[in-house]
């Protein structure tokens, strides 16, 4: 199981670190792997930096970016979207954000929210993760931060170095992110 998780993380890191053009396939694969039960079909709506992208021009819009330009990917399924707006849509929504699209004010707000999710570890720490504490998985620049290091890293990260924060407040794939995946995911990208 650990070998599978390490292999998946390695593949994701290689994809993120190499300069690949952003594609629908890349986004769909990430969504399917990260959100258990995500239904990516022909009816999914893609929103890139706040703009709905027509399905016939996805290739054109995505080709302007590299995979490493993404600072946020999220998926809102039909059920969740139906609870947010009055008329229930027939599809899910994929929300994408790239470098430079989050304001410093929003980054500061999200960083404050992220800091509240982590507790200072006791002096004597173990390698065991207690998902009941409620701490989400932390990924900084494509690398998953060890549980015992998350608090110090998040407290000491420089606001002016952050170019994007993505906070996912719902369970993600435990097979990829480990036990704390039930508490969600925080992805931080710095320059």
Whole-number average pLDDT of the chain? 81
Q: What is the pLDDT of residue 86?
A: 47
Mean pLDDT of 35-55: 86
Decide if 65 contacts 98 (C-beta within 8 A).
yes
Instruction: Express as a percent the part of the chain with pLDDT over 90.
Output: 25
pLDDT of residue 174 exceeding 80, the answer is yes
Instruction: Express as a percent the part of the chain with pLDDT over 70.
Output: 76
Domain co-membership, 140 together with 175: yes
Boundary (domain end) residue, out of 48, 70, 101:
101
Range of the domain at 167: 102-191
Boundary (domain end) residue, out of 52, 79, 101:
101
Q: What is the pTM of this model?
A: 0.73
Phi and psi at residue 116, in whole multiples of 5°?
Answer: -70, -15
CA 155 to CA 150: how far, in whole Å? 8
pLDDT of residue 187 exceeding 90, the answer is yes
Q: Which of 4-8, 92-96, 136-140 has the lowest mean pLDDT?
A: 4-8
Mean pLDDT of 10-15: 53
CA 59 to CA 6: how far, in whole Å? 31
Domain co-membership, 92 together with 15: yes
Q: What is the pLDDT of residue 135?
A: 86
Closest CA to 159 of 118, 188, 119: 188
pLDDT of residue 46 exceeding 70, the answer is yes
pLDDT of residue 104 exceeding 80, the answer is yes
Confidence of residue 79 (pLDDT cuts 50, 70, 90): low
Domain co-membership, 77 together with 147: no
Domain co-membership, 36 together with 82: yes
126 vs 155 pLDDT, higher one: 155
Q: Which of 41-45, 60-64, 182-186 has the lowest mean pLDDT?
A: 41-45
Neighbouring C-alpha atoms within 13 Å toward the C-beta of 101? 16
Q: What is the pLDDT of residue 142?
A: 86
pLDDT of residue 127 exceeding 70, the answer is no
Domain co-membership, 106 together with 96: no
Q: What is the pLDDT of residue 82?
A: 46
Q: How many distinct structural domains can be found in the chain? A: 2
Q: Which of 91-105, 124-138, 140-154 has the lowest mean pLDDT?
A: 124-138
CA 51 to CA 70: how far, in whole Å? 15
């Amino acid at each position: 199981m650990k070998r599978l998780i390490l292999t998946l993380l390695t593949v994701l890191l290689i994809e993120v670190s190499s300069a690949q053009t952003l594609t629908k396939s890349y986004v769909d694969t990430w969504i399917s792997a990260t959100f258990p039960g995500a239904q990516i079909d022909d009816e999914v709506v893609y929103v890139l930096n706040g703009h709905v992208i027509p399905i016939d021009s996805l290739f054109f819009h995505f080709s302007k970016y590299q995979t490493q330009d993404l600072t946020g990917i999220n998926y809102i399924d039909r059920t969740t979207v139906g609870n947010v707006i009055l008329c229930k849509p027939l599809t899910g929504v994929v929300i994408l954000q790239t470098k430079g699209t989050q304001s410093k004010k929003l980054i500061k707000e999200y960083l404050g929210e992220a800091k509240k999710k982590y507790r200072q570890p006791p002096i004597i720490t173990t390698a065991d993760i207690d998902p009941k504490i409620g701490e989400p998985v932390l990924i900084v620049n494509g690398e998953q931060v060890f549980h015992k290091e998350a608090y110090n890293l998040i407290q000491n990260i420089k606001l002016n170095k952050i170019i994007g924060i993505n906070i996912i407040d719902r369970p993600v794939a435990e097979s990829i992110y480990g036990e704390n995946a039930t508490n969600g995911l925080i992805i931080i990208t710095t320059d």
